[in-house]
């Protein structure tokens, strides 16, 4: 695959997924504007994750049936309209509904682009191409916090979603010009049969089951941190602006880029070894994160480790899953990301509730416990992996 096309896939996926995460550094502003308590503010993020789950169930599998190019452009147009709806919301109900649609269409675009890139890549380069595209996703979701914070300080939270809608229009023009046309995969199936086949993959593919649970726990830990971070940093003694809080996403982006080689390592057969090291780093990252009240330096070190580990795990998961069934990339990524949406939604709700009850240290204990559970599950299921995947040391 040409490097330019890989870069376009990565950038488009990053811009699409950013829409799902703009709300995280804005939770305090949204809570104040719509009269939502700080302890319940995580429900805004949970609504976007509910949209993610709906997309994974009902939209992402369509990539294995419809022309992917046309599907991407239609979904992008609908995403633009959803962003405009959020920017003009006047009630909490309208806000939550709009966030659900943004989560639904932003996720459909993102995962559709990953499946698109995977199917267009050669067998020998699939891990590298998926890794690069997923790198764009992680950088996009982390830089979303920087961009959202900066725009919100200048134009308010509504300006964030208006600016994103304009960006989606520009992205649509680019994708219309450069996305390659691809034939649909397999025999045309009825929509209900197509959806049922995704659940059959969940029931039959052992690799998908094991790596999906690891993803659920990893993304739950990830969401626990990023959903709660705005709460201590916006309060005493820091009183940081949204721009300053969002800037911590730059540190996370550096960690994500450092893990870009994980797809290459998976291609070389080192997927399990990479996973074990990354999960150990995920557990360890909560130790410096707990030092937030002592020094921001500890927080920066913890963010770097957290996102380095998360990116390595995620890319390795997808490399193993796509290799298991090359004939159904859209349904595989849809099924896999159901675990992601579940973990992210649970993490957001647990984070804000835990912070309200136990403060930042309580959040760190919760995150470390979830991360340790993921490490223990990986170790316990090593022998249960299918022979092909288990052979990737």
Q: Which domains does the chain have, with CATH numbers?
A: 1-185 (1.20.1250.20), 189-392 (1.20.1250.20)
State the pLDDT at residue 280.
96
Instruction: Please report which residue ranges of 88-186 form alpha helices under DSSP H.
Output: 92-120, 126-178
pLDDT at residue 61 tops 80: yes
Choice between 392 and 80, residue whose per-residue pLDDT is larger = 80
Choice between 247 and 18, residue whose per-residue pLDDT is larger = 18
- CA–CA distance, 363 with 157 (Å, rounded to integer): 26
Q: How many CB atoms lie within 10 A of CB 380?
A: 10
pLDDT at residue 125 tops 80: no
Which CA distances in Å does 1 have to 116, 118, 126? 12, 10, 10
* Position 308 confidence tier, pLDDT thresholds 50, 70, 90: confident
Average pLDDT in the 341-358 region? 88
At a CB cut-off of 8 Å and minimum separation 6, what does 152 contact? Answer: 25, 26, 29, 159, 160, 242, 243
Q: Which of 54, 102, 47, 49 is nearest to 76 (CA)?
A: 102
Phi-psi category of residue 135: left, alpha or beta, with phi > 0 → left and psi -120 to 50 → alpha: alpha
At a CB cut-off of 8 Å and minimum separation 6, what does 65 contact? Answer: 184, 185, 188, 189, 191, 194
SS3 43: helix
Determine contact, residues 262/311, Cβ cutoff 8 Å. yes
* Position 41 confidence tier, pLDDT thresholds 50, 70, 90: confident
Model confidence, pTM: 0.74
State the pLDDT at residue 53.
82
* Position 234 confidence tier, pLDDT thresholds 50, 70, 90: confident
CA 364: distance to chain centroid? 20
CA 201: distance to chain centroid? 21
Q: How many CB atoms lie within 10 A of CB 25?
A: 34
- CA–CA distance, 230 with 168 (Å, rounded to integer): 26
- The per-residue pLDDT of the chain, averaged, comes to 85
């Amino acid at each position: 695959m040409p490097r330019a096309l890989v870069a376009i896939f990565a950038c488009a996926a990053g811009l699409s997924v950013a829409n799902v995460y703009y709300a995280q550094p804005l939770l305090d502003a949204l809570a104040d504007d719509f009269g939502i308590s700080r302890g319940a503010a995580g429900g805004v993020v949970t609504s976007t994750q509910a949209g993610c789950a709906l997309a994974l169930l009902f939209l992402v599998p369509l990539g294995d049936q419809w022309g992917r190019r046309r599907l991407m452009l239609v979904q992008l147009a609908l995403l633009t309209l959803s962003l405009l709806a959020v920017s003009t919301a006047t009630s909490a109900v309208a806000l939550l509904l709009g966030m659900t649609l943004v989560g639904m269409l932003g996720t459909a675009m993102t995962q559709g682009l990953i499946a698109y890139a995977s199917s267009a890549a050669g067998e020998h380069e699939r891990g590298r191409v998926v890794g690069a595209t997923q790198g764009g996703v992680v950088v996009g979701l982390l830089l979303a916090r920087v961009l959202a914070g900066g725009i919100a300080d200048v134009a308010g939270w509504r300006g964030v979603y208006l600016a994103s809608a304009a960006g989606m229009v520009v992205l649509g023009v680019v994708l219309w010009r450069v996305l390659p046309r691809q034939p649909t995969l397999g025999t045309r199936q009825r929509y209900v049969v197509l959806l049922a086949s995704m659940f059959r993959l969940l029931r039959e593919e052992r690799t998908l089951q094991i790596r999906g649970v690891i993803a659920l726990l990893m993304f739950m830990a990830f969401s626990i941190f990023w959903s709660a971070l705005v709460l201590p940093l916006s309060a005493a003694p820091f009183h940081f602006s949204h721009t300053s809080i969002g800037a911590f996403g730059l540190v996370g982006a550096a960690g994500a880029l450092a893990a870009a080689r994980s797809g290459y390592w998976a291609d070389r057969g080192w997927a399990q070894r990479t996973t074990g090291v990354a999960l150990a780093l995920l557990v360890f990252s909560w130790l410096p994160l707990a030092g937030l009240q002592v020094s921001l330096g500890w927080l920066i070190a913890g963010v770097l480790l957290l996102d380095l580990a998360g990116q390595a795990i995620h890319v390795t998961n997808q490399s193993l899953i796509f290799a298991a069934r090359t004939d159904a990339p859209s349904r595989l990524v849809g099924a896999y990301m159901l675990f992601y949406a579940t973990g992210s939604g649970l993490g957001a709700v647990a984070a804000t509730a835990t912070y309200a009850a136990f403060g930042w240290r309580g959040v760190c204990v919760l995150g470390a416990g979830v991360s340790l559970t993921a490490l223990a599950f990986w170790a316990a299921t090593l022998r249960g992996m299918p022979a092909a995947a288990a052979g990737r040391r």
